[in-house]
Structure 1
Amino acid sequence: MTLRFSEFCVDAADPEALAAWWSAALGWPADVEDDMHVVRPPDVGAPLWTFIAVPEAKTVKNRVHFDFVPDDQQAEVDRLIALGARHVDVGQGEQSWVVLADPEGNEFCVLAAR
Structure 2
Amino acid sequence: MTLEWRNVIVHSADPKALGQWWAEALGWVVVHVSDVEFAIQDRDRLPGLEFVLLDEPRKAKSRLHLDFVPDDQDAEVARLEAHGARRVDIGQGEQPWVVMADPEGNEFCVLGRRGQ
- TM superposition score normalised by structure 1: 0.91
Task: Tell whether the 8 Å contact from 1:12 to 1:18 is kept in structure 2 after alignment.
Answer: yes
Q: Does 1:62 align with 2:47?
A: no
Size of the aligned set, in residue pairs, is 113
RMSD: 1.4
Q: Does 1:90 align with 2:84?
A: no
Aligned partners of 2:59 and 2:91: how far apart in 1?
16
CA deviation profile, 1:80-109 (whole Å, cap 9, x unmatched): 011110111111001000000000000000
Identity %: 54
Give the letter aligned to residue 18 of structure 2.
L
Write out aligned runs for 1:6-25 (5 A).
6-25=6-25
Write out aligned runs for 1:72-91 (5 A).
72-91=72-91
Give the letter aligned to residue 96 of structure 2.
S
Deviates more, 1:86-95 or 1:56-65: 56-65
Runs of 4+ in 1 over 4 A off after TM superposition: none
Give ranges in structure 1 of 5+ residues lacking alignment.
Answer: none
- TM superposition score normalised by structure 2: 0.89
Give ranges in structure 2 of 5+ residues lacking alignment.
Answer: none
Aligned partners of 2:59 and 2:84: how far apart in 1?
19
Deviates more, 1:3-12 or 1:29-38: 29-38
Aligned partners of 2:53 and 2:104: how far apart in 1?
12
Aligned partners of 1:63 and 1:103: how far apart in 2?
17
Aligned partners of 1:103 and 1:53: how far apart in 2?
15
Q: CA deviation at 1:30?
A: 1.9
Aligned partners of 2:87 and 2:33: how far apart in 1?
31
Aligned partners of 1:60 and 1:79: how far apart in 2?
27
Aligned partners of 2:34 and 2:42: how far apart in 1?
17
Give the letter aligned to residue 54 of structure 1.
L
